[in-house]
Structure 1
């Protein structure tokens, strides 16, 4: 009988189920039954999905659709244990503490790491403050509890795998965790972590919208399966992982995962070209009255902003990194025009206060460093400024979701005499650029360009 190792996943959202779970399912279909997924959530905001999956023994149907409209249906079987949420997260901690658990992966969104532009913990955050006092509302609090239990139980080493769109995500999570543990005075846990765990960097990619209302009926018609928790995604998929697991791991190469010495070229291209453009298109599309990413991308003025941003600023910043960046840009923008995905601007517009410093500011810094003015890139924070101005005025057509939004501070900014000056001087968003008068003037110019665009 094959010994089963556990891959614990924290953040049981659609993306995990369309991406990491798909890869482990492919291993099962190849006859490699050595791994299964156990999964649960830190937050109590998706328990209806967990309940539906428990009723279906963890099985669900994934629909993938190409830009040409070709749909493929696959029943995913890799999630074999669901961990219902409870306030103390004990089921999640118990699972993580078991010796059979060899990998703990997580998708908690960019904002779920609470990092400022200096890549340090944003210590003003209420959830982080609670966790530093011994709670577990954040990934750091939960992982700390798990590590302490593993130490007490001699449960052995493991790999902690960040699967979110954070640059150098494994390193940033590791450093955030060590900072968290240091603030708690838990030096023994830090020593155990250094000796018994690794945090590989990863790059993940598959556009995964929230499932549309007609998805269950379509799956029932095509497959005969009555699925209460289906997911949908584009056909394209990519996963690049730094080959730095601690101990055993699945044979991920056998199912198309790229195990590499360094993910940096891949993640830089993806974060700056795909993720930043995606958000840019969502903010611009919302301001121009569009609902979906594909119709926003197909709007000539919006497409031009995204293409100029990549062509004029990102590609010169990244230089020759071994990837055909012009081709990658064209592939990415074509993926965004997929009308069958029906990805919403609301989903992609989220978490701007984390995305600007992580995905946009580095390109502007590098432009200035090489003596260029980041005209094309400055349109992105300008779009976000006007987007948030509409949020402040109650004019957005949907609820804006942001894990680190300080609503009072943003309302106060827009009520001030010169909101653009305050925005441009925000170090949390723009780092050292916040002190530059020429950057503030550039941002002011681009905000006016956005107003002209949407009138």
Structure 2
């Protein structure tokens, strides 16, 4: 497209519903504002691509609509708004060698490579060390492109060869300290590949700013397209939906320019940690809490879970008893943020499913929940409210092993045989609490086993009461 040669480009890897409802939305808003206020100023455009071909049908639909699609946003009161997003100007055609993706990333016009690859897509252990015995990582060390590391290395090798222009590598995932942790994984990956030249070039010519992203974005159902057609007259093949609430906080560390996101509400800061920590522990962990609990009693949607007084109490006490003390003092009003988050979960119009939130659950224990347990132990406390969340997941895993469809989920970091081994053990809770991938430095500690065992007893009593 002609716009690809005229605009500054952002290549985004991992073009799912969240990206299209969040980062692409912000850039669309900015471009619309710029067209009104500074029409002669050079714009920024997105190029969308994926490492895997599992959503190529959606990419084909986007391609057929020249990258345009409709975003439906819904308030908790049921107010719908429709925006045609026009910030994606090119859709990379997937191929095993990711030819188009690499070509765009190596283009001198590309100033930023951003990505959403989920928590498990970073393949890091509790020490932020690359999990080198994972089959995907092993394949990429041998020259494959199954992971973000193998893909970024292929792009930057070509970029180094063609023009050597500096570029920002921007993580947009729900991962604490995401930019720095990605960078650590990338450096370790390059050491394993033995590519010292590229490693030195990356250190000199890239930055990896951390960010915090927030908007609940359910997988769109068929009725979204029906509502879009009725409201706009556009027969959209690939609409997305999201809540009205949106937030993006980014460390302002860009090496080769960036869009003026601050003009449309993005918060550009020097340090993102406080915002990131509050969001991960309060929103993300609570989201998993209500999803696990709701699934265990046969519910389907997040708003149904949160409307259950017991489940809402589980999440409320977790935040109030354990998270707020761990994060205080904070520049954020944590009590107010807690209440806003739980209200957002009650948005029945979103129809956000437990199944969606349950994805990557194994990674979420380590990333979202274990830090609060560790903080409580360090203060001499017993994190009973947080341990209840881990107990809910323990019973969730047990149902997953039984092959019940409602409990099916995917997590690239989970070793299925190890998990199945928990429940073949003479002491399943002890085995569960000894898994280093889940618990890190806490694995095998008696106080962890004790508090999780107490949590399982409470969960079992609650589940029994639900049957009566």
Report the TM-score range of the alignment, normalised by the length of the smaller protein.
over 0.9
The partner residue of 2:299 within 290, 296, 299 is 290
Aligned to 1:274: 283
Q: SS of the residue aligned with 2:394? A: helix
Aligned to 2:142: 133
The partner residue of 1:379 within 379, 385, 388 is 388
Q: SS of the residue aligned with 1:7? A: strand
Q: Which runs of 4+ in 1 moved over 4 A?
A: none
TM-score normalised to the size of structure 1?
0.98
Pair 1:245 & 2:254 matched? yes
Offset of residue 25 of structure 1: 0.3
Cα distance in structure 2, aligned partners of 1:227 and 1:395: 34
The partner residue of 2:237 within 216, 220, 228 is 228
Unaligned runs of 5+ in 2: 36-40
- Is the contact between residue 117 and residue 173 of structure 2 (CA under 8 Å) also seen in structure 1? yes
Aligned to 2:376: 367
Aligned to 1:257: 266
Q: Which moved more, 1:116-125 or 1:138-147?
A: 116-125
Q: Which moved more, 1:360-369 or 1:24-33?
A: 24-33
Cα distance in structure 2, aligned partners of 1:62 and 1:383: 34
Aligned to 1:406: 415
CA deviations on 1:215-245 (whole Å, 9 max, x unpaired) are 1111000100000000000000000000100
Cα distance in structure 2, aligned partners of 1:300 and 1:218: 32
Pair 1:26 & 2:35 matched? no
- Is the contact between residue 218 and residue 353 of structure 2 (CA under 8 Å) also seen in structure 1? yes
Q: Which moved more, 1:30-39 or 1:118-127?
A: 30-39
Q: SS of the residue aligned with 2:48? A: strand
Equivalent residues in 2 for 1:81-230 (5 A)? 81-230=90-239
- Is the contact between residue 435 and residue 443 of structure 2 (CA under 8 Å) also seen in structure 1? yes
Q: Which moved more, 1:414-423 or 1:6-15?
A: 414-423
Offset of residue 396 of structure 1: 4.3
Cα distance in structure 2, aligned partners of 1:68 and 1:389: 37
Cα distance in structure 2, aligned partners of 1:92 and 1:414: 43
When residues 336 and 252 of structure 1 are mapped into structure 2, their CA distance, relative to the original with a 3 A threshold, is same
The number of residues matched between the two structures is 455
CA deviations on 1:93-125 (whole Å, 9 max, x unpaired) are 111111010000000100110111111111221
Unaligned runs of 5+ in 1: none
Pair 1:426 & 2:435 matched? yes
- Is the contact between residue 434 and residue 443 of structure 2 (CA under 8 Å) also seen in structure 1? yes
CA deviations on 1:278-325 (whole Å, 9 max, x unpaired) are 011100110011000000011011000000000000000001111100
Q: SS of the residue aligned with 2:362? A: helix
The partner residue of 2:64 within 55, 59, 65 is 55
Cα distance in structure 1, aligned partners of 2:407 and 2:426: 27
CA deviations on 1:175-205 (whole Å, 9 max, x unpaired) are 0000100111111111111110000000000
Give the RMSD, CA atoms, in angstroms.
Answer: 1.2
